[in-house]
Amino acid sequence: MLHLEVHPNMRKHFLFATLSLAAFAGAAFAQEYPSRHVRMIVPYSPGGSNDLIGRLIAGRLAQSMRQQFVVENRPGAGGTIGAAMAAKAEPDGYTLLVASAGAITTAPSMYSKLPFDPLKDLAPITNIVLQPNVLVVHPSVPVKTLKEFIALAKANPGKLSYGSSGVGATQHLASELFSMMTGCDIVHVPYKGGGPAMVGIRSGEIDFMFSVLPTAVPLIKSGQLRAVAMTTARRVKAFPDLPTVHESGLPGFEISGFIGLFAPAKVPQFIQSKLNAEVMKAMTPDVQERLVDLGLEVDVGPPEKFKAFLRDDIARYAKIVKAAKIPVQ
């Protein structure tokens, strides 16, 4: 039997060559990605803020990466149906998710059998924006201030109804926190997204809503809805004269959401890094100005920062769900 002895130096050269080839191949793949259209799942109906941000980012990425980024709306179960689809998709970078708190950070507290783990089954690419909520009422509701609204709700227990983009969405939990802090008896009407919920309040089907600000801004400005108070810790640039719930008589009340970009957890790191860089590049001054006008705060950054934010947000909503004794589904 022929026996070949490989010199240690030859082993080192072979290993170096192998690693170099792998690095070269990775760089080549990174340059090629994406080589076909990318599906971007938005787990809510068209017309809401997730859909708005999803389409904005899809358009920007399509321009810079020279491939189609196709938004696919998959509403239902507070956003968890679409989020689960993304989490279970092939981890090749061709299925992404644009999602908010309802599908990612409130869901673990709201569902006893969630079909995915937001922190384990999804790779957080970057947060895109932070979005405040605003208490709005249908014009037929005879209030202009938070104090008047609380008095009306207490005088009519079980008669005022509110909408949300689904069970466990920030609009839902904001309303539950409000009910818990004021003792008001209000009725929840969940919809399959922020868009349908806004249709409900515009038509008078529901009386009020802690709406995400972007979808409410045009309706407030046109007089189709009346803004009562912001849910943020401080006033927002889009409505500097509108007081917060905190300063209107409910100290400590604060609810705001986020919209971020995710991929299946096992997507190659070079794809995650490339997507992160492209989203940050997409936040040009004109895009940022447009988002600020909608009441949003641009919040792109490294994945590690976003993941830490998600952990904290999950813990925060878990406390609200427990304190408000919201039934787990």
Query: Got the DSSP string for 130-173?
Result: EEEEEEEE-TTS--SSHHHHHHHHHHSTTT-EEEESSTTSHHHH
Neighbour tally for 148: CB within 10 Å: 14
Number of helices (H) and strands (E) in the chain: give both, helices first: 12, 10
Distances (CA, A) of 300 to 2, 35, 108, 202, 232: 60, 25, 24, 32, 19
Joined together, the tokens standing for residue 130 give 């932070």
pLDDT at 15: 52
Cα 129 to Cα 127: distance, rounded to the nearest angstrom? 6
The reply to whether domains 31-131+256-324 and 132-248 share a CATH topology is: yes
Q: Which fold has domain 132-248?
A: D-Maltodextrin-Binding Protein; domain 2 (3.40.190)
Neighbour tally for 92: CB within 10 Å: 15
> Domain 31-131+256-324 sits in which CATH superfamily?
Bordetella uptake gene, domain 1 (3.40.190.150)
Q: Output the tens digit of pLDDT for each of the chain's 329 residues.
A: 445 455 555 555 545 444 444 444 444 455 689 999 999 999 988 888 899 899 999 999 999 999 999 999 999 888 899 999 999 999 999 999 999 998 999 999 998 899 999 999 999 999 999 988 999 999 999 999 999 999 999 999 999 999 998 777 888 999 999 999 999 999 999 988 778 899 999 999 999 999 988 889 899 999 999 999 999 888 988 889 999 999 999 998 988 889 999 999 999 999 999 999 999 999 999 999 989 888 888 999 999 999 999 999 999 999 989 988 888 88
**Under 8 Å CB-to-CB from 176, ≥6 apart: which residues?**
188, 320, 324, 326
Cα 83 to Cα 202: distance, rounded to the nearest angstrom? 28
Domain map (residue ranges) of the chain: 31-131+256-324, 132-248
Cα 65 to Cα 61: distance, rounded to the nearest angstrom? 6
| CA 326, chain centre distance (Å) | 21
Cα 245 to Cα 239: distance, rounded to the nearest angstrom? 14
Joined together, the tokens standing for residue 304 give 């590690």
Residue of 287, 161, 292, 104 lying closest to 214 (CA atoms)? 292
